[in-house]
Structure 1
C-alpha cells in the first residue's frame, strides 16, 4: 500500500461476506467504482474472504497485517449482507481482531439482502462498532432484494442507493477530517 497524499482520506471498504457463493463483491464493486470518482478518497478493498483471520483471535501474521491496514485507514465502509436477521460472523471476527486500531474512526454501512435490505444487520453492527469506539455515520446505502437491483454488468438504477452513496461519502469525509484534526493535537482518550 502506497503513501496517500495528506489531504486524501484513506478509505477501507470491508467486504463482510466470506461465503463461497456470495453477492457481496457485486455490491462492493459498485460502491468502489462510484467512490473512486470522488477525489477526497484513496480507496482500498479489504475482502474478508482473503484475510484468513483466526477465529480464536490468536496472533498471526494475517492478524498483524489486518491490524496494520485498519490502523492506517482514516475511515471505513462495511459492506454487509443480512443472514438470518444478522450480520456475518466473519465481520464480527474482523472487528474483534483489532481493537485500538478502530478507535475514533468513522464507519459507514452498505447493506444488502431480501426485503429488509440488510438494515437489521446494519443496526446490530452500529452497536458493535460503538463498543470499539468507532463513529458510525447516519447515512447508509441499502439494497432490498439486491439480486434484482443489479444488471449483468454490476450496475444499478436504484435512485435511493445512488443518492445515499454520495451522502454517505460526504458524512465519512466530514468525520474523517474532524478525527484527523483531533488526532493531530491529542490522542483519542479511549
Structure 2
C-alpha cells in the first residue's frame, strides 16, 4: 500500500516559539512508521503578504501546493490569548479545495490549558473547510517544565493514538476521493 502523505504544520511564527521543538519530537515519532511519509510545513519559512492580495504570491502558491499534496495533516499550534495564532489562520485561508475530505489532527501547547481553546477554535475552522478533525489530541502544558517519565509515556501514547486515527481516516478518505470526487 502506498504510504499516506502527512504534512505537519508548525502554526507559530514567533521568535523563541516552542512549536519547532514540539514538532521535531512529534515528527520523530511519526517517521518511525513505514506507512507514513512526513513533511514539515513551517509557516516561518513562507514570506506571506501582510494583506490578502488580488493574485496569489509565490509563497501562497507554494503553501497551497503543499496542502494539496498532503493526504492528512497535523497542526502544531500554540494557544495565544485563548486562540490560535493569526499566522496560522492566514495560511489556512490561502487554501480551500486542497483541505477538503482530508483528516486533521492537533498537537497543541499552552500554559495551563495545553492549547485546548486553540484546538476548539481550529476544529470550527477546519469543519468549515470540509475536513475531518480527529477527536484525540496531543496536548503539552508549558508550565510543567521538563516532562516527567510518566508525562513522556503519556505524550507517546497520545501521539500513537493520533497517528493511528489519522492513518485510518487518511486511507479511508483517500479511497473515497479516488472512488468519487468530493462535492462541497
What interval of TM-score do these two structures reach, taking the shorter chain for normalisation? over 0.9
CA shift, 1:147, in A, is: 6.5
User: Aligned pairs, how many?
Assistant: 182
**Normalised TM-score (structure 2):** 0.94
Secondary structure, counterpart of 1:158 in structure 2 = helix
**Normalised TM-score (structure 1):** 0.91
Output aligned runs, 1:65-144, within 5 Å. Answer: 65-144=62-141
Looking at structure 2, the residues matched to 41 and 78 of structure 1 have their Cα atoms a distance apart, in angstroms, of 16
Alignment match, 2:24: 29
Q: Is the CA contact (8 Å cut-off) linking 1:143 and 1:149 kept in structure 2?
A: no
Unaligned runs of 5+ in 2: none
Q: 1:16 aligns with which of 11, 15, 18?
A: 11
Q: Deviations over 1:120-155 (max 9, x none)?
A: 11111000000111110111000112671359xxx9
Secondary structure, counterpart of 1:138 in structure 2 = coil
Cα root mean square deviation, aligned:
1.7
Q: Is the CA contact (8 Å cut-off) linking 1:117 and 1:146 kept in structure 2?
A: no
- 1:172 paired with 2:166, answer yes
Unaligned runs of 5+ in 1: 1-5
Q: Is the CA contact (8 Å cut-off) linking 1:149 and 1:156 kept in structure 2?
A: no
Alignment match, 2:46: 51
Runs of 4+ in 1 over 6 A off after TM superposition: none
Alignment match, 1:159: 153
Secondary structure, counterpart of 2:136 in structure 1 = strand
CA shift, 1:15, in A, is: 0.2
Secondary structure, counterpart of 1:46 in structure 2 = strand
